[in-house]
Amino acid sequence: MSLLDVRRLRAGYGPVNVLHDIDLSVDDGQIVVVLGANGAGKTTTMRAISGIIPCSGEVTFDGRSITTSSADAIVRAGIAQVPQGRGTFPELSVIDNLRIGAYTRRDGGTSDDVERWFQTFPRLAERSDQRAGSLSGGEQQMLAIARALMSRPKLLLCDEPSLGLAPIIVQEMFHIIDSLSKEQGIAVLLVEQNANLAMDIAQRVYLLETGRIVASGDAATISADDSIRKAYLGY
Amino acid sequence: MDRFFEALFLGLSAGATYSLVALALVVVYRGTGHLNFAQGEMGTLSAFMVWWFNDKGVPLLLAVLFGMAFGFLLGAATEVAIVRPLARRSLLAVFVATITLFLGINAYTSGVWGAPPDELMDSLFPNDPDDFVRVFGTIWRYKDIGTMAVTLIITGLLFLLFQKTRFGLAMRGVASNTDSARLVGIPTGRILAGSWAIAAALGALAAVLVAGNQGQVTPTLMVTVLTYATAAAVLGGLDSPGGAVIAGLLIGVGEAEAAEFAPGWIGQDMKLGVALVAIFVVLLFRPSGLFGTAKVERV
């Protein structure tokens, strides 16, 4: 039984349908990567799973259907998304960005978790009272990830975390995501254009092309397949 | 010098009501990015409700609470039924809708309560001829002191709401980035309706204070006040509650002093112009207002 199971997912904007019967699944603690070019439907997939845009088909999470659930119910069920382009709250301080990440929690453990992520990301601790909008791109991406983790999710959705970051920061970012998944047992669904690095940390890979899954399999199998590599990964 | 203090005090008292309405405008603007031109008229309608309850025998203070509750519901209903569906289409549509609401409520209150008005309302504060203290030789009436005190208390409460509560954090989050607010699980609809509700309750309180000052509720009760309050909100920086209060007081004092010391060529009729010229000059040099935050963004 997968943690996240997506069947025949269709979604789009107004009359325009972007996704055509997407099937994918993520197991507990697994890192799954969806690769695709601009316009393939990566962000739409993420937004549909998070309940930001309406979708049809069947999305099951943790044994429950969340296809028609509201965005806040989906967060409470245990899915957190790091949206494309950071998605921080630029006018709020760094620490308020973390606090707001725990909005759905009522257990009073917020400040302990803030402390914990400040230890993981010391640069955020240094800038605790600074407005998030004044951070560098890499710092904002770290803040966005830490913010998403504040809700204690079982599944983390990351929408192109490498976008607009320097290669060395991208490496650091993937390393952080990898160790988070290993240490905390958090499952990760990552959509990316940056195929090489993403495949290094993934267990399973899907190739998305104009709203359809055209290939899927183990990360090792996909990266070893010459024809897929040439056609979709460009090297 | 007496004349200066006299005008200063009257200016602060009038300014306090501008500040309250400016605060309401700021709460809506911060929460939803709209300027509610019906803010004043929604207050007027609530003040008529207060008068109605009071007229039916409900004690004034209790009637004010009822009026604020009425405003609260009116604000939430406006957001849900009018603003939300229109905002999906365009900001301009909301702008036009709030002006329509302004005219609609104004026509309604004029039609129902009409002229000559007999909707008398007492001040919330002791207002007999000898209810005053002398400060620097000038007369400070209790009702004016009360108006200022209410404004300061409300400002403090709003500050606590914004900075110290979960609801306030959610409001700031929705204002800053609505998409991300939904992704962290904030029920954005409830927050937006809540912002409009709180603002309209504030507007109701302000209208009651203005009505108490002039002794009656009239359909045009808040028209001038809204003009000053809009100016105050813009001058203070549309997203700054503290700025709205300070700017409201500044405008109140500015117009009172100008009318007092240049009665010949400014006087009561031109005093609004003084405030507007000052605002124009400030905004030339600080486009985000005296205390507003300039948008910072890195990509």
The two tokens of residue B225 are 């006040």
Would you say residue B181 lies in a domain? yes
Please say if the pLDDT value at position B267 is more than 70: no
Please say if the pLDDT value at position B70 is more than 80: yes
Reported as a single tens digit per residue, the pLDDT across B136-190 is: 778 788 888 999 999 999 999 999 998 999 999 999 999 888 889 999 999 999 9
Would you say residue B282 lies in a domain? no
Q: Is the separation of the CB atoms in A90 and A131 below 8 Å?
A: yes
To the nearest whole Å, the CA of A235 is away from the closest chain B CA by 29
Would you say residue B6 lies in a domain? no
Predicted local confidence at residue B141, as pLDDT: 83
A227 CB-near residues (< 8 Å, 6+ apart): none
Would you say residue B211 lies in a domain? yes
Cβ contacts (< 8 Å) between A133 and chain B: which residues?
295-298
Cβ contacts (< 8 Å) between A137 and chain B: which residues?
298-299
Give the ipTM of the model, two decimals please: 0.89
Would you say residue B70 lies in a domain? yes
Query: Would you report the helix, strand and coil content of chain A in percent, each value rounded to 5?
Result: 40, 30, 30
Confidence of residue B116 (pLDDT cuts 50, 70, 90): low
For A:19-48, CB contacts with B below 8 A are none
Confidence of residue A235 (pLDDT cuts 50, 70, 90): low
Sign of CA dihedral B241, B242, B247, B253: positive
Would you say residue B257 lies in a domain? no
- Contact between chains at A89 and B187 (C-beta distance less than 8 A): no
- What span, in angstroms and rounded, lies between the C-alpha atoms of B229 and B236? 10
Eight-class DSSP state of A162: T
Residue A69 touches chain B, beta carbons under 8 Å:
no
Would you say residue B289 lies in a domain? no
Reported as a single tens digit per residue, the pLDDT across B224-260 is: 899 899 989 988 988 888 899 999 999 999 888 888 8
Percent of chain B at pLDDT above 70? 94
What pTM did the predictor assign?
0.85
- Contact between chains at A151 and B187 (C-beta distance less than 8 A): no
- Contact between chains at B172 and A87 (C-beta distance less than 8 A): no
- Contact between chains at B298 and A50 (C-beta distance less than 8 A): no
Would you say residue B105 lies in a domain? yes
Please say if the pLDDT value at position B293 is more than 80: no
Of A70, A87, A136, the CB nearest to B179: A87
Predicted local confidence at residue B5, as pLDDT: 84
Of A131, A135, A151, the CB nearest to B184: A151
Confidence of residue B214 (pLDDT cuts 50, 70, 90): confident
Predicted local confidence at residue B204, as pLDDT: 96
Q: Domain of residue B218: give its range.
A: 16-246
- What span, in angstroms and rounded, lies between the C-alpha atoms of B203 and B159? 17
Which residue on chain A is closest to B299 by alpha carbon?
Answer: A137
Of B179, B184, B293, the CB nearest to A103: B184
To the nearest whole Å, the CA of B198 is away from the closest chain A CA by 21
- Contact between chains at A90 and B296 (C-beta distance less than 8 A): yes
Mean pLDDT of B77-100: 90
Of B166, B176, B179, the CB nearest to A90: B176
Question: Which H or E run contains A34?
Answer: strand A31-35
Confidence of residue A233 (pLDDT cuts 50, 70, 90): low
Structural domains of chain B, count: 1
Confidence of residue B3 (pLDDT cuts 50, 70, 90): confident
Predicted local confidence at residue A36, as pLDDT: 87
To the nearest whole Å, the CA of B120 is away from the closest chain A CA by 45
Give the CA distances from residue B79 to residues B162, B178, B199, in Å, rounded to whole numbers and listed in that order. 20, 16, 11
